[in-house]
């Protein structure tokens, strides 16, 4: 299992309510239809930054999703409210504690 962490800030004039609404649409119309996405979380830090955290079954799933994002209008809408370069970090999950 792998985790992708994509930190970002909101563009000027974008509210947190708009972020959550756009994220909900992204989840419903894109993420839930992608094979290999196990879980997704939208998080906020205490300094006003945000991150999208996505758990993937494997590296191949990440590659498939990144490719599918390139042709998706809902992805473009979600990414357009973010101020950032769109980069993400990928981590292999070694162990989970619950």
Residue-wise pLDDT for 21-36, tens only, equals 999 999 999 999 999 9
pLDDT digits (tens, 9 = 90+) for 2-19: 999 999 999 999 999 999
Q: Tokens representing 71?
A: 């042709």
Above pLDDT 70, what percent of the chain? 100
pLDDT, one tens digit per residue, over 48-80 is: 999 999 999 999 999 999 999 999 999 999 999
Task: Give the closest residue to 1 by CA, choosing from 52, 41, 61.
Answer: 61
Judged against a pLDDT cut of 80, whether residue 86 lies above it is answered with: no
Report field, pTM of the whole predicted structure over 0.85 = yes
Cα distances (angstroms) measured from residue 50 to each of 19, 44, 47, 84 = 10, 4, 9, 11
Q: In this structure, what token pair is assigned to residue 22?
A: 């756009």
Question: Hey, where are the domains in the chain?
Answer: 2-85
Instruction: Collapse the DSSP code of 54 into the 3-class scheme (helix H, G, I; strand E, B; otherwise coil) and give the result.
Output: strand
Instruction: Report how far Cα 97 is from the mean position of its chain's Cα atoms.
Output: 22
Tell me the CATH number for domain 2-85.
Answer: 3.30.70.100
């Amino acid at each position: 299992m792998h985790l992708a962490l994509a930190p970002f800030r909101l563009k000027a004039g974008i509210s947190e309510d708009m972020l959550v609404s756009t994220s909900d649409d992204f989840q419903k119309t894109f993420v839930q239809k992608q094979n290999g996405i196990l879980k997704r979380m939208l998080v906020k830090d205490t300094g006003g930054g945000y991150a999208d955290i996505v758990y993937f079954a494997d590296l191949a799933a990440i590659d498939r999703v990144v490719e599918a994002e390139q042709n998706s209008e809902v992805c473009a809408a979600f990414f357009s409210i973010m101020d950032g370069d769109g980069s993400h970090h990928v981590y292999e999950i070694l162990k989970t504690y619950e």
